[in-house]
A and B are shown apart, each in its own frame.
Chain A
């Protein structure tokens, strides 16, 4: 690993891989840092090693990643897998941990392709063993061929839930029920977005086929479910929910939930990039322009880390951001940048036609984002409940960060990744304030836990 590169790319998902290929085609020195052992990110996880039968069940969209991974392996990027990035600052200095050695490296341009995380939505019992995110179920399947053995209940909202149900059905997993929390009112708000979504009708068709197949297989599916609860002593034993005004319960040892995905912004926050609340996507994301420039010179963002637009869009965004980086480096002219951007930009626009419809249709109900159930744990690490957070709001003058200092929520090892959004919503709700750009916890380096020994290895590195 060198001390300096012209371009550092963080993340080996679709945006990062496409960016690395484009960058090295132009002959610049480029490093790609990624926490996983192999390229692909979460969406193309284990793309190089998944057996053919498994890849087939995962579908054509997954298999598209194979070509990208091959192009990536053939390019001249310096690839550092199993590399933890724990810091990024406005001087484009990147703190990394690689082979148990800390190092600060720098670049003229940094492209953050951090991707997305699942939106954590707290509900009673969500910390019990046996409750997992749907993405976790998919990762187990993609990377290890591990699937539920005694059935599973799927609950929540969004395309991934449907996709996972369909994939599980293909490999014979018993789906005890599909519980969709999408309220009927979303249908109306999504209606106006429908004409544009028709421009991306292949996504709609795929969704309808999945739904049809699940129905034909006789899988129980309930719409507009509320009051989801996971119950059990020390582990999940049953779940309960409300449907059409009545309470129901299902015995199950496994519940997988999904409430959409949100950008992973811990690194751009730590760098001091400006972030905005995106009300349509119900998340915070780094402010950026059409080339992926953030508010900090030389720091670019591409892919779902910039705002959720899906896997194909991420790839094009990665290419566009690199064209901008190449222009800033003086490798290509403005005219060349503009010329080469025409096709990826056109493709990217096409991919995004579906998004406003999906965002409106799968919007998470406000009462789930800001739970009023006082006993629900919000901060999984420090075990702080919604009641404790609400009680702290007055003394904290309605500021999330003050709530954090008073209650310790967000101060555990996950550094608020699981509670920041819920705390922002609960604090706004309790204080009667509107959610805003600054409702989220501030993010600071190190963005990943390091041992003191690992941090101290920096001085040995600098002395050598």
Chain B
């Protein structure tokens, strides 16, 4: 559904998306990266298990929630990619507190 406008925007940060290693450009939100990778939905809802995808891209709708580095319910549109980041599609409310603290 989406693509990177210029090939030289492909980037050099290595990120894991649902177990697959991908190269992504620096300074990009996780949501932009996963959409450009062709991911259709970023989570399923806790109520009816329906798939959802980023809707507003500005931190308002909370439909882009994903599991990022083990933490569930992270705003993928407001989280910027980092080298070695682990990003996963979230099912429902996600795993019980991945926050290890």
Docked-complex contact A147 and B5, CB < 8 angstroms: yes
Query: For the complex, would chain A's binding face be called helix, strand, loop or mixed by DSSP majority?
Result: loop
Docked-complex contact B1 and A144, CB < 8 angstroms: no
Docked-complex contact B52 and A127, CB < 8 angstroms: yes
Size bracket of the B interface = 35 or more
Docked-complex contact A413 and B73, CB < 8 angstroms: yes
Q: How many A-B residue pairs have CB under 8 A?
A: 121
Partner of B54, one of A132, A171, A253, A418: A132
A135 on interface, CB distance cutoff 8 Å: yes
Q: Give Cα A381–Cα B60 distance, bound, in whole angstroms.
A: 12
Docked-complex contact A144 and B29, CB < 8 angstroms: yes
Interface positions of A from 342 to 366, Cβ below 8 Å from B: none
- Cβ of B101 to closest chain A Cβ, rounded Å: 6
Docked-complex contact A235 and B51, CB < 8 angstroms: yes
B91 on interface, CB distance cutoff 8 Å: no
Docked-complex contact B28 and A144, CB < 8 angstroms: yes
B42 nearest CB neighbor, chain A only: A129
A42 on interface, CB distance cutoff 8 Å: yes
Docked-complex contact B32 and A117, CB < 8 angstroms: no
Query: For the complex, would chain B's binding face be called helix, strand, loop or mixed by DSSP majority?
Result: loop
Q: Give Cα A226–Cα B1 distance, bound, in whole angstroms.
A: 25
Size bracket of the A interface = 35 or more
Contacts of B41 in A (CB 8 A): 129, 234-235
Given contacts A148-B2, A235-B40, contact A117 B60 (CB under 8 A): yes
Docked-complex contact A136 and B56, CB < 8 angstroms: yes
Given contacts A140-B32, A143-B32, contact A42 B53 (CB under 8 A): no
Interface positions of B from 24 to 83, Cβ below 8 Å from A: 25, 27-29, 32-33, 35-36, 40-41, 45, 47-48, 50-63, 65, 73, 77-78, 80
A selection of 6 A-B contacts at a CB cut-off of 8 Å is A131-B55, A132-B55, A135-B56, A144-B28, A149-B3, A380-B55
Residues of B within 8 A of A (CB): 1-6, 9, 25, 27-29, 32-33, 35-36, 40-41, 45, 47-48, 50-63, 65, 73, 77-78, 80, 99, 101
Contacts A139-B57, A234-B51 supplied; 14 other A-B pairs, CB < 8 Å:
A36-B78, A127-B50, A129-B51, A130-B53, A132-B54, A136-B57, A140-B35, A140-B57, A148-B3, A149-B1, A149-B2, A150-B1, A380-B63, A383-B48
